[in-house]
Structure 1
């Protein structure tokens, strides 16, 4: 599929026919988007007209699942009805979309708008609500307080210097009068709500010299007791007025770390959970473990009780691969990938399989099946896999890895067929030339290598800049051009000329695309545009200059032109809040999807330079994306 980025790739072989011609029916997309509501509730699983974005979805869906699991099988009809009412209200609150009064952009109800709320300068690790406000903690030294009584969620207080090394957990009491925060230096601090509505420090329970003595924290309903977990798996309970430890629980059945704690209303029970995927319940008075709850298939990250203590709500790590309807923005499916983060995604030429590259392995999933398990796993790399691409008929797959190798796999058996070495230097990316006879890879040592599959050797080695890592490479769909982007923000361009099965490279230009790291370069299917993604929070679109003359004489020794902007800049896509990691063009080159560390994937219309859809729900950064738009008509 020419519309998919050639840098990632993937699936099964003998089952895969030749790729069909790319659809040219996408231009009505904007008109259909305007006719459809932003996020209608739907439980149908659509055809693969989806964008699959790697990342981890938010806790709300995990909580919703847990609400359903929490209902006992035997209940009176009155209780069943009451539960359905509660669950329905929760679902409505989660899915309702409103217009932000601050900037006018669409946002989920009761969620801070990422565009107009003053955010932390670093990642936010924890939030804690009160009846009138929201406290947030991040990697910065401050704690921020927002008012939830006004629709703009204004910032009302910044507690400067709260934690010197940043804060990873924060909790509030149910009465909203007390708060506790745990810092990366090991300290746990107490806070009290003053009469003027501001938060004041009340001292420390754990000093910074005792690093590792406190991780997750929870306050009792009245703020009198504080529970905290430790790095070695213990649970301590402290009396806050005296700042003394009064109890230590044994964590039978729990695997450290314990990531979440929650006191029940009335402080009778304490729930604890973490990587063991089980929840332990303790009697606060006796200190005994009274129950062990199971059912989650992933790490449990969050716990809370309802007001009566009848239900315990849990939030777990969601599957990192999410399928989104490009038109509606609905997340229609998630695929578990519990082993590691997903680094790259690629859809097979027949649009049937999705390859997800992670740590050491590539897993192959059937897009058209509801089976959440991988149909095939490719094992053989010893470090993170950074690139994946498919043969045009799906007969084989190529991967690159930080272990310094490029491997070719038989997609029918999962076995390694060939192995090419970069001399122990981590390989950042790999693509397949459209002639299917050459591979192009780049590494952190600053090398770009072309591998001749017929001769089974490296036929060209290019070094654009000494000791500057090349992050990404892309080749034109007609095989006429090669582009590489490096950590200096520069893009290098070569002509690729085929003459009697011999490829010659003609340097065309070098230009400055960004002032910092380039994370991805990608040529559009029609070879008229070049997209570059960067750590500067932008993606840029460049007009590809095809007027440069062909010259095969001494191609690799020709000096590169150094004119900035040798490819004219068409547009800069603003709106990302953090690093932009990946992108994918639509089949007609009119649209671009980007994946960003700010937890969003975005669909851009290039002609208007505007965002026409945002895909949110990840509570971690979206780092890779693959687009299948053949069903968008």
Structure 2
């Protein structure tokens, strides 16, 4: 809902790559490149197969996508009971509505599209006209459709597989059942066309793969996979007769079809069921996807016939527990997931993402046995701290794990787990039942880390060597579990917070207790802003207190959350404190005034949040969501009036951002192919791209800058001596003054006797400009007037504007019409600088006449209002551009 938050605006989501919907591969004839399309929930991504780089992100759907299909020009998606066809990989071109239930199978068929819903209703659509061509209904009790395929070289025919195990071959042109295949006693999960004509591969739920000839209804061979149901089937087309099958446990089997045996196994190719498996035509390349949020590209060049991993794009398989920005540039986010992995996501481009691996006590053995079979796998990371000061020299990240007393180190540069496991020797002699590391921090120098444990011990270690350097308190810092620890920026003071409602301040080096501060409730967690020495402490009573490390006193107390506080973060200047809670709200508190500035609701509770060191983004992680959401700080690029919210404020729900930014500046490739060259229109530059923009005339500055100072310029350029008359003047034809050379017509006919009474207006007849302006009174045509005035030089413009007054041969009506003309020019926002110059000259010359005429005063007031609103709009654009340029300059320094 727009307006739910004054400060934060949804930007985009990170860490999404695939889900349970099978991937699709298409070939672009113009680019001569293959593209892979994967589903990420409410949108789909398009990647090029050469580098697995993202090409485009589709527009968002109202709900999650249930199925996808592609042809040479369009991408088809099924969302609920509506089918959409996308062109250029992102824009909806066609919509097909008519199903009563959710669509789960799609098949493009020449100029038609075949769709099947969960009630086994088959509909055939005309792709271009969106009209329904044919409808077939099946009974789920006798034939529940589970697979759909078009056999190669079979005209107007489709093959349907069912949950009952049988198959049917239909002619969709005549709507006739041609043949029924009895099946093999198990539900059919997938049907795939083999490279040989008339041969298809059928995967069953029992793990049996049947290679069947549908022309003669004969089984060519039967293979059996021990890993459960068949989830995907693919065939190599580059030479070797190899078939690949996917399983529900993430393994891939490669079968030699000539010898009818298992050729190789690719175990643990994915963490979950392999849902998408495609071979690139005439290449030994295989692309797979699964619900573990990963895309993998394999090249089959091993000696045993198996494949090796060539490229990969992966995110978390389980939701993140903790996220933090890493570094001072605000471009990398460290994320610790419930899958025990630590990953780094880039806010700039996916190519900069890093996967630091899975936490394990014995990393070498885990590599040999496989990640799934790792007996020494550590639990998920609950808290971590990172520092970039010495990350090029040694480990720069320290993590503590759920229910585990050992803290692990990680190396960001090498993208791997460190060699040190931080554990005190006391646990070798004492009982360590139930002891776990709860909080950790790294000093700003990058040499030491402090680990707080549930037993009340707070230990200091050297990160480079992993050697123990002392503990706080004797024998313990607290009598209860320590839930938060922080060290100031100068390594002078260490503060610890525990469940005994105590905050204790210690000397970092001598471990001496300096001060004890008692709070009203047990400490839940702590966050320190080192530049300002402000410490935010979340308590179990859902309140947040801010402690000044210098005076060691509580300076602010915030209350308003209705459930447990999950995370906190400071803005870079320490003016704001952003907190999240299990009540699904995110609140922004103003520290100088101690008031609530912003509050909004989310569909899912935020489990962790962090703010960029540059202040441009707020990143959030949510319950049961594997992605990381970025929210842009609107106060950096627009004026936001921040006022304290009342205590009775009811927050509104904000819409979660999609995987594509609202104004994506990444260079997207055009992946649509025009059907014919005649469809490409010739480019024509418009006069004005948008009504919101302001267009200049592009005339030289001398044509409009000197209008108001023309008298001074003429006086300054007056010759010192009078011009000398030549002795013999040459013959010339009389011309009309102006920019264009026009000869004066000769006067014909007898001259009428003139009156002795002189009419001043007759001495100066109406010019062409005045006649055009006079004609606008009956039929407004201000564009012609503007074009005429554009063609005149500065002196001619000055003369025309001066002649509008009654004493110059004009009239009040002409002056009023000229003000209406200026109002029209400001309204259309064209020739903006010329309109300003014309207005200035008109007011300078005729200011006295305007003050005496009520009609002119009314028109001048309307012109003033229009000019002010136009200039205010232009000034906002200037301020926004200047702010963005200054930010980019500061970000790149």
Same fold (TM over 0.5): no
Q: Which has the higher contact order (CA 8 A, sep 6+)?
A: 1
Higher strand share: 1
Relative to the length of structure 2, the TM-score reads 0.27
- Compare the two structures and name the one with the higher helix fraction: 2
Larger radius of gyration: 2
